[in-house]
Chains A and B, each alone.
Chain A
Amino acid sequence: MLVLAGCPGPEEPAVRGEAPTVDAAAPVLRRLTDSQYRNAVASLFGPGIVLPANLEPDVPVDELRALGAAVTTISPYGVEQYETAAYQIAEQALSDPGWVAAHVPCTPTAIRDDACARTALEPLGLAVLRRPLEVEELDGLVALAGTAAEALGSFEEGLEYPLARLLQSPAFLYRVEVGENGRYSGYELASRLSFFLWDDVPDAELYAAAAAGELATDAGLAVQVDRMLADPRARAGVRNLFTDLFRLYRLDQIAKDPAVFNAYGPELKASAREETLRVIEYQVFDRDAPYRDLFTSRLTFLDRGLAALYGVRAPAREGFGGVELPVSLGRAGLLGHASILMMEAHPVSTSVTRRGVFVRTALLCHEIPPPPADVDTSIPEPSPDAPTMRERVAVHLEEPTCAGCHRLTDPIGLGLENFDGIGAWRDLENGAAIDPSGELEGRAFDTPSGLAQVIATHPDLAQCLVRRAVASAVGRAPESDDAMLAWHAEGFAESDQRVLWLLRDIVTSPAFARVGEVE
């Protein structure tokens, strides 16, 4: 297992001042996301549990699924799917002798054995609902187990029903965090920590700390946060966070024409996503590197398909292997990853606008308004006078109704035109040399890796990460004048942009533990 060499402790020298005092925000009721639901089921009932392929879909709001979870509803079809899943989970768990031995620590003396059911259901109830059960709740579950056992003639089958009840409870499907006297309860805080840092439910140790009141003290909280960030589950949490921040969930939806891109197959997009997530994991955990390095590093992880696409020798016979790309390839950082390049492109071609919008909105948090309606948005076909995209999109950069926005986006996308619609390198387009040069807010670049340098050192890059990470953590988009954002950003800069430092800073900040009145 990885040892975190550089994980910052509480003794980290801090130049910035005390956290600002801000009004506590009203509670937010978040649905479990698809991955949180699946991770919770695996943690509670075993990693082998088979779930339906489709459950209530995640809905990004402002491109973040973490924000969508706080405003969307569970549809009638979703209710139906969760019911089906609940019984599938309960049945599989109760037919797994290992799970039963661990969670039903008694031998029933009759088909109906309320005492044995109670022994099993009390800790299970806490684990599923992420808080201790009320007395009446536990009584109800025990009675349900008994009724079902009698109806079906089996103690074990009877237990399916209280489990299915717990799995359909709003306290499981939503994150109920309403607090008391302006602070989240220990159990609520435990869930806030674990869903943000692990994308999963709390473990026994975190619940024990919650029950003992340790999360209410700075020292107790720090112990748990440091433990959680050193746990392998933090890698899943960071993967999930960046899947959201970099919109990698969109890869599921894309299609590419294999007649145009011979190297393309559906497995390539899965590999491309994995490359990006492995690089993030490596930079964040193994190197504890500055965030900006993600945009310039030539270290990456490739399988055979991606190695062929990039034109390097496959670093591993099977699966993924680490490799440092030669400078001569011209490919560096996130914007050289096939994932982003194929996601922000058309099925048969690149899209300079989409790639530019991605950089502006996902990486720099700039706002780009939608294109106006009732205008012809077409660009000319390639011709001898306009062989490459640069000449073809010139109209968007000159026409006044288009230029306002396209000047913000297209020069960035043109800087990536050496990468085709699935991310393979090309020097020529329609026989003419591609000119990737341009400038971003006064800073010139000549090549895609030059653009990467400009983005890596853009002043808005780190602030954007802070803003989006805070939004993910708390389930609402912070106001732009939120004093906490500036405070986190100041610390993040002082930490030399270390992502683990930022995550720790967010969850240990006073604001993360405080809650306002319901609205």
Chain B
Amino acid sequence: MNRRTLLRGMLGGTAVAVGLPLLEQMLDANGTALANGGALPVRFGLFFWGNGVVPDHWIPQGTGTGWVASEGLAPVEHLRSVLTIVTGTSMRLPNIHPHSSGAAGILSGAPVLADNPGSFSAPTIDQIIAAEVGDATLFRSLQTAATDINGLSWNGPNSRNPAESDPYALYERLFGPTFVEPGSGGVVDPRLGLRRSVLDGVMGDIAALQGRLGSADRTRLDQHLTGVRELETRLARLQEDPPDLEACVAPEAPLASFPDIDGRPQLQARNRAIAKLLAMAFACDQTRVFGHYFTEPINDVLFTDATAGHHDLTHNEPGDQPEVQAITLQVMEAYAAFVEEFQAIPEGGATLLDSCAILGCTEHSLGRTHSVDDLPLLIAGSACNAIVNGVHHRAAGQDNASKVMLTLVRAAGVLAPTFGVDEAETSDGLSEIEV
């Protein structure tokens, strides 16, 4: 059966291990490798928050395994054995547009568009990985947010993958009527076939239209075509027998709404609900990549107990910024919630988290000055023993943050030669955190 095999091939000019849907019987007794000796599929997640931190409050004491949690890291300390903390790296591109340059420079290694600073100019790390591993699963990637924002996942110029911020809509998408229980066989419904032939027709329409357009519009329609093709492939997969994965169980539906309380959004509840759904989406091998945006750059979210919006506080709260520090604690609690949900699902002899790397990052270090030096970065999970967990690595000399991204891209199974452009380009990962 060819789905048991792993193909090696060339996709988009980059050599890549193409993962195929994971079957429980493919795992060896320890769940650490495939029974035939192949590697477990690696999963990647991004947890992003906006507006940076107060570095003095966040950076831990000491390096290596003996790091001592700062006050800001207290909410994640109980996870230290599965965490990697990286400080001392820098986004090396010109920091022209506060917040935007940092976000684009870190996540894509490239600047924002010169003529539209609202758009990144190059794919973000989640899409670099998804482009190579995403074909194996129902969804190339999932994009979610805990506030009503579009997120920061870009395919390229002016091409964003918008985030879903409604947990119930996410649930419907993943586990609603189209969800196929493992072991139930495929769906037999003539409507699926009809929908597929409609999509085939639409693809033909798009291709025909492209011939009448200029090159920029052809590229835009290529993106559209990719989306239609993915949807068509997904409908075809629904007609097949889904992977019979032990840990895959349709979760309970989240609340239909999370109304504000005292003018404050229910960030933690919404975040936890999304984390549960994404963890199960991984366990069911519906996707292997997610991007989650707890908040966005420049957000002025009113956090619980805060007396002003987050962005306002980062600039205008005096002194050591105790309110900003308190918000950072809420952010770290939300990151911990994500890690816990992925840890809670057993897979083989380990947990789902062990096959993941969940990057936590933000666009600035000190929000007050829009600094892009000494960036706060966290990684949870070892990506199947590719990343050293349990340590704090403090890079010297404001090393290139792209190195961390390249390490993660490679850990996810993409044999990328480089990450980033210009001053942000690197062909080396951050070897100190690589196994």
Residue of B116, B119, B318 ringed by the most chain A CB atoms within 10 A? B116
Contact A171 B308 (CB under 8 A): no
Contact B230 A76 (CB under 8 A): yes
B149-200 with Cβ < 8 A to chain A: 150, 155, 158-162, 164, 166, 169, 173, 190-191, 193-195, 197-199
User: At the interface, yes or no: B330 with Cβ under 8 Å from chain A?
Assistant: no
Give the segment of B10-18, B204-212, B374-382, B385-393 that binds chain A: B204-212
Residues on B with beta carbons closer than 8 Å to the beta carbon of A78: 162, 227
Contact A59 B160 (CB under 8 A): yes
Chain A: interface residue total (CB-CB under 8 A): 65
Bound together, the chains give a CA A431 to CA B227 distance in angstroms of 58
Contact A374 B370 (CB under 8 A): yes
Contact A152 B169 (CB under 8 A): no
Contact A347 B309 (CB under 8 A): yes
B124 to chain A, nearest CB (A): 13
Tell me whether A376 and B217 are in contact in the complex, defined as CB-CB below 8 angstroms, given that A74-B227, A255-B300 are known contacts: no
User: At the interface, yes or no: B215 with Cβ under 8 Å from chain A?
Assistant: yes
Contact B301 A168 (CB under 8 A): no
Per-residue contact bits, chain A 267-302, to B (CB 8 Å; 1 contact, 0 not) = 000000000000000000000000000000000000
Residues on B with beta carbons closer than 8 Å to the beta carbon of A53: 166, 169
Tell me whether A374 and B95 are in contact in the complex, defined as CB-CB below 8 angstroms, given that A56-B162, A347-B312 are known contacts: yes
User: At the interface, yes or no: A205 with Cβ under 8 Å from chain B?
Assistant: no
Per-residue contact bits, chain A 2-42, to B (CB 8 Å; 1 contact, 0 not) = 00000000000000000000000011010000000000000
Residues on B with beta carbons closer than 8 Å to the beta carbon of A169: 202, 205
User: At the interface, yes or no: B98 with Cβ under 8 Å from chain A?
Assistant: yes
Residues on A with beta carbons closer than 8 Å to the beta carbon of B158: 59, 61, 71-73
Contact of B223 among A74, A255, A266 (CB under 8 A): A74
Bound together, the chains give a CA A161 to CA B265 distance in angstroms of 41
User: At the interface, yes or no: B121 with Cβ under 8 Å from chain A?
Assistant: no
Contact B309 A346 (CB under 8 A): yes
Bound together, the chains give a CA A72 to CA B219 distance in angstroms of 10
Residues on B with beta carbons closer than 8 Å to the beta carbon of A108: none
Contact B191 A253 (CB under 8 A): no
Tell me whether A258 and B262 are in contact in the complex, defined as CB-CB below 8 angstroms, given that A76-B230, A370-B98 are known contacts: yes
Q: Considering only CB atoms, which chain B residue lies closest to A31 in the complex?
A: B220
Bound together, the chains give a CA A375 to CA B216 distance in angstroms of 37
Bound together, the chains give a CA A348 to CA B323 distance in angstroms of 14
Bound together, the chains give a CA A67 to CA B60 distance in angstroms of 46
Bound together, the chains give a CA A76 to CA B199 distance in angstroms of 13
Contact B231 A373 (CB under 8 A): no
User: At the interface, yes or no: B101 with Cβ under 8 Å from chain A?
Assistant: yes
Residues on A with beta carbons closer than 8 Å to the beta carbon of B265: 255
Q: Considering only CB atoms, which chain A residue lies closest to B163 in the complex?
A: A77
Contact B214 A165 (CB under 8 A): no
Contact A373 B227 (CB under 8 A): no
Contact A170 B224 (CB under 8 A): yes
Per-residue contact bits, chain B 223-251, to A (CB 8 Å; 1 contact, 0 not) = 11011101100000000000000000000
Contact A72 B263 (CB under 8 A): no
Contact of B202 among A27, A168, A349, A370 (CB under 8 A): A168
Residues on B with beta carbons closer than 8 Å to the beta carbon of A370: 96-98, 117
Residue of A27, A77, A151, A371 ringed by the most chain B CB atoms within 10 A? A77
B112 to chain A, nearest CB (A): 11
Q: Considering only CB atoms, which chain B residue lies closest to A74 in the complex?
A: B224
Q: How large is the interface on B (under 10, 10 to 19, 20 to 34, 35 or more residues)?
A: 35 or more
Contact B262 A165 (CB under 8 A): no
B255 to chain A, nearest CB (A): 16
Residue of B98, B101, B148 ringed by the most chain A CB atoms within 10 A? B98
Per-residue contact bits, chain A 157-197, to B (CB 8 Å; 1 contact, 0 not) = 00001001100111100101010000000000000000000
Q: Considering only CB atoms, which chain A residue lies closest to B98 in the complex?
A: A373
User: At the interface, yes or no: B79 with Cβ under 8 Å from chain A?
Assistant: no
User: At the interface, yes or no: B302 with Cβ under 8 Å from chain A?
Assistant: yes
Residues on B with beta carbons closer than 8 Å to the beta carbon of A373: 95-98, 101, 369-372
Bound together, the chains give a CA A325 to CA B194 distance in angstroms of 60
User: At the interface, yes or no: A105 with Cβ under 8 Å from chain B?
Assistant: no
Bound together, the chains give a CA A79 to CA B195 distance in angstroms of 13
Tell me whether A519 and B318 are in contact in the complex, defined as CB-CB below 8 angstroms, given that A170-B221, A176-B209 are known contacts: no
Residues on B with beta carbons closer than 8 Å to the beta carbon of A119: none
B308 to chain A, nearest CB (A): 5
Tell me whether A80 and B214 are in contact in the complex, defined as CB-CB below 8 angstroms, given that A72-B159, A255-B309 are known contacts: no
A272 to chain B, nearest CB (A): 16
Contact B308 A349 (CB under 8 A): yes
B120 to chain A, nearest CB (A): 12
Contact A347 B262 (CB under 8 A): no
Contact of A75 among B117, B159, B190, B213 (CB under 8 A): B159
Q: Considering only CB atoms, which chain B residue lies closest to A83 in the complex?
A: B231
Contact B231 A161 (CB under 8 A): no
Tell me whether A178 and B212 are in contact in the complex, defined as CB-CB below 8 angstroms, given that A56-B162, A348-B309 are known contacts: yes
B307-357 with Cβ < 8 A to chain A: 307-309, 312, 315-318
B104 to chain A, nearest CB (A): 13
Bound together, the chains give a CA A380 to CA B226 distance in angstroms of 51
Residues on A with beta carbons closer than 8 Å to the beta carbon of B288: none
Contact A377 B315 (CB under 8 A): yes
Contact of B263 among A56, A144, A259, A378 (CB under 8 A): A259
Residues on B with beta carbons closer than 8 Å to the beta carbon of A165: 198, 201-202
By a beta-carbon cutoff of 8 Å, the part of chain B in contact with chain A is: 95-98, 101, 116-119, 140, 143, 148, 150, 155, 158-162, 164, 166, 169, 173, 190-191, 193-195, 197-199, 201-202, 205-206, 209, 212-217, 220-221, 223-224, 226-228, 230-231, 260, 262-263, 265, 300-302, 307-309, 312, 315-318, 368-372
Which 4 pairs of residues, A with B, have the shortest CB-CB distance? Answer: A79-B227, A76-B227, A373-B95, A73-B223
- 5 A-B contacts, Cβ less than 8 Å apart? A78-B162, A144-B197, A255-B302, A370-B96, A374-B95
